[in-house]
Structure 1
Amino acid sequence: MNLDGHVVVVGLGFGDEGKGAVVDALCAARPTTAVIRFNGGAQAAHNVVVDGRHHTFSQFGAGTFAGVPTHLSRFMLVEPFALATEARQLEAVGIRDPLALLSVDDRALLTTPFHIHANRAREDARGDARHGSCGKGIGETVRYSLRARTDAPTVADCARPAVLTRKLDALARFYDPLTPPPHSVDELVSLYLDFADAVRFTDGGETGRLTDRGRVVFEGAQGVLLDEHHGFHPHTTWSTTTPHNARELLDGRPHTVLGVVRTYHTRHGAGPFPTEDSAVLARHPERHNGTGRYQGAWRAGHLDATLLDYAIAACDGVDALAVTHLDADRPRVVLEHGSPAVELDDPLAWFGARRPVALAGYGPDRADYRTPVTIGV
């Protein structure tokens, strides 16, 4: 396993595995040219703690505290207003001019207030049959793009006011029966022009240029168990959460796929959770995750060996594991559904028997992470 080269970081659960802390640790440990986001959008919530500073990374890469620039690939769903808010938050914790650390593939889809309001209206209408959502417009952005094709707004359109006006007018008309327009099209066009002036847009060759220049960390969002193809519908995301997109961007370049997993499973909101146990939730209080209106309740349960193996298989395999929350008290594992949970006396050895463990996390701070770790097959 080679953590000196390109690394693809994916979550092997339902999300919230600790991908942000892992990306930060990788970037702090070795020179890194860029962090490239390869799926999802503003619904990501990757927590990083360094020397008392905390930030929940959403669209900026989790290598930002380590001084590593972020590139949002064509597979990202870009939400400019959330980006501007996140930039201000980063400035407040000491990052100078965060937008200067950002580049965006101009082919990426644009998430607008129309998508966000429609997403929330649709989820509210489901009542007790909610699918689970972050309320950030992700599903609606993809849904509309599948219908509108080339008429769906993209990042490139932010610098083309006539094209953007036409596309936003069509978008507003499409969603008007579901939810009233939250903003005027003219207002949005003006604000998106400001976004185009503030952020560097790139063509499709930027990923290749970055990966040829030096080591790149590809940061995944959500977890494989929420994948649009491999998750358990309808409680899934409209995004490919396996390494597939990153592998496509790498275009055959050598890389290491690092799967991130906690010592216990968690889930935010609605959906199946075979090993859920309220005692696990009580034993492991969560500092940076809670209940949200659209996400729903924070849930926890025993490590599920069946789901872990399934997630690894859905990735077409991973090269190594990053195991987080090794400071958890008395973790247990369910080896087969229907069997009782058994104690993990030596969690690293248990994980290492499945895949080599390359990184180990014993707490929320960067100082709590160890790499390289040489455990396992």
Structure 2
Amino acid sequence: MDHVIVVGLGFGDEGKGAVVDALCANGPVSAVVRFNGGAQAAHNVVVDGRHHTFSQFGSGTLAGVPTWLSRFVLVEPIALATESRELEAIGVADPLSLMSVDAGALLTTPFHVAANRARETARGQDRHGSCGKGIGETVWYGLLGDRKAARGDVVEDQRVLGDPCPAPTVGDCLDPRGLRRKLDALARFYEPLIGAGPVVDELVELYRAFADAVRVTTGDEAGRLADAGRLVFEGAQGVLLDETHGFHPHTTWSTVTPRNARTLLGGRGARVLGVTRTYQTRHGAGPLPTEDPAVLARFPEVHNGTGEFQGAWRAGHLDADLLRYSVDCCGGVDGLAVTHLDADGVKIASGQVVEDMPDPVSYLRELVGVDVLVTGAGPSRADYEVRENPRHDRVDAGVGGRDRAAV
């Protein structure tokens, strides 16, 4: 009955959404909590022939579990409304009734999205691999007030072209007059980079409707939820893209490790579940040491492709050194979720050595030193198993090195 923190141990796309769905279907879970990232998340869940790519809604939605977006999430209301309609189309009744959002969460606006795309396009061959969803721009603009930046300053390698004002938040959507002031300032700030942006009055109207449609929370909502029932914390991206531990500049502006989730829990206990595929993948630019075109050809991806800004889908052999590094960045994990077990003939690389991995579950359990508590052998919920007490002895080897604990 412990709370569970689900963290990707790769470059993203490990199967976190399907793992969260499996945990919620296995129950009982009272809420899915998002603790990082924003609208760039793309977590695929398939249940009884229904497929949805979860972005801001938690991946437990098809299991009937509500979502809370914490203050560490960047909220894009227009994309959220679109996702709600998509969920309705596959049979989820009134999806927004399952959604609540912290008032302190930053808003991602069309101004941020346009600026993000302009900067990434200008980089040309030196692109960072951005999804083009405005995530980094939202965080960057939020930093300007904290650092008392002024026009002409350079913050995180980007020049401040205008006069920054406090960043808009979800709570501002309840105050149309104050929201309009912040959006007007945002429009003026970004005009040198993107030209004329969207009409502010239209955005105010949209955001006011958003605030009416979801429950906006204040205070220690995380504590209230945690004390009321079991929570699953759904991470976005992967540790190898973490803003602190990833490989710059090909990183996300987000803390991917369990740190934010632990902050929200305020000292309450939780198990960390690290998710890995049986082979390595990444979307877009950046290092992939074990990249192998043969792996990409053997394991075609149904739900991932080339993105306009993010770039191509790539694959290679699982990297033991990077996997151990990710676990170490998390401060260890309490268990593993291993996905894509239907991929046969997979290999694992350690340094210059590449060897077969005929039994990935056993191999990875010994490599990391913790039990494999969730397995996935296909795209559907029916292909996933939540394994209770998979073995009775303790594993002491590896960087995980914690007592075995079923999820």
1:331 aligns to 2:328 (yes or no)? no
Give the count of matched residue pairs: 372
CA distance in 2, matches of 1:75, 1:321: 24
User: Which residue of the partner structure matches residue 386 of structure 2?
Assistant: 371
- The TM-score normalised by the length of structure 2 is 0.90
Q: Tell me what 2:255 maps to.
A: 240
Deviations 1:123-171 (A, max 9, x none): 0000011011110000000000000347100000011111111111111
Aligned Cα RMSD in Å? 1.0
Distance in 2, matches of 1:181 and 1:76, equals: 27
Q: What CA deviation, in whole Å up to 9, does each residue of 1:197-241 have, x standing for no partner?
A: 111100031111110001000000000000000000000000000
Residue 266 (1) aligns with residue 266 (2): no
Task: State the match for 1:142 in structure 2.
Answer: 139
- Alignment correspondent of 1:130: 127
Partner amino acid for 1:75? F
Question: What residue is the counterpart of 2:365 in the other structure?
Answer: 352
Partner of 1:219: 234
Q: Which of the residues 334, 342, 350 maps onto 2:355?
A: 342
* Pair 1:107-2:114 in alignment: no
Which residue of the other structure, out of 179, 183, 207, is the alignment partner of 1:192? 207
Looking at structure 2, the residues matched to 204 and 20 of structure 1 have their Cα atoms a distance apart, in angstroms, of: 28
Quote the offset at 1:181 in angstroms.
3.1
Aligned to 1:210: 225
What is the letter of the counterpart of residue 332 of structure 2? G
* Aligned residue number for residue 27 of structure 1: 24
CA contact (8 A) 2:69 2:102 kept: yes
Match of 2:173 in 1: 158
Aligned to 1:94: 91
The answer to whether the Cα contact below 8 Å between 1:283 and 1:329 also exists between their aligned partners in 2 is no
Aligned-residue offset at 1:356: 1.3
Query: Matches of 1:346 and 1:31 in 2, distance apart?
Result: 30
Cα distance in 1 for residues equivalent to 2:248 and 2:371: 31
Could you tell which deviates more after superposition, 60-69 or 160-169? 160-169
SS of the residue corresponding to residue 24 of structure 2 reads: helix
The one-letter code of the counterpart of 2:230 is R
Distance 1:34 1:181 in 2: 40
- Consecutive unaligned residues of structure 2, counting only runs of 5 or more, are 147-164, 396-407
Which digits, 9 at most, give the CA deviation of each residue in 1:19-60, with x for residues without a partner? 000000000001111000000000000000001000000000
Contact 2:239 2:326 (8 Å CA) reproduced:
yes
Residue 301 (str. 1) matches residue 316 (str. 2): yes
Q: CA–CA distance in 1 between the matches of 2:324 and 2:263?
A: 23
Question: Which residue of 2 is the match for residue 50 of structure 1?
Answer: 47
Give me the whole-angstrom Cα distance separating, in 2, the residues matched to 1:195 and 1:369: 35
Give the counterpart letter for 1:346 in structure 2: D
- Out of 231, 238, 246, the position equivalent to 1:231 is 246
Equivalent residue in structure 1 for 2:265, among 244, 247, 250: 250
Please list every run of at least 4 consecutive aligned residues from structure 1 whose deviation after the TM superposition is greater than 6 angstroms.
none
User: Which residue in 2 is equivalent to 1:80?
Assistant: 77
Whether the 8 Å contact between 1:114 and 1:181 is mirrored in structure 2 is no
Q: Which residues of structure 1 form unaligned runs of 5+?
A: none
**Offset of 1:195 from its aligned partner?**
0.8
Contact 2:191–2:197 (CA under 8 A) maintained in structure 1? no
Counterpart of 1:243, as a letter, is P
Task: Render the CA deviation track for 1:296-317: whole Å, top value 9, x for unaligned.
Answer: 0000000000000000011111
Partners of 2:270 and 2:285 in 1: CA distance? 34
**Amino acid in structure 1 at the alignment position of 2:140:** R
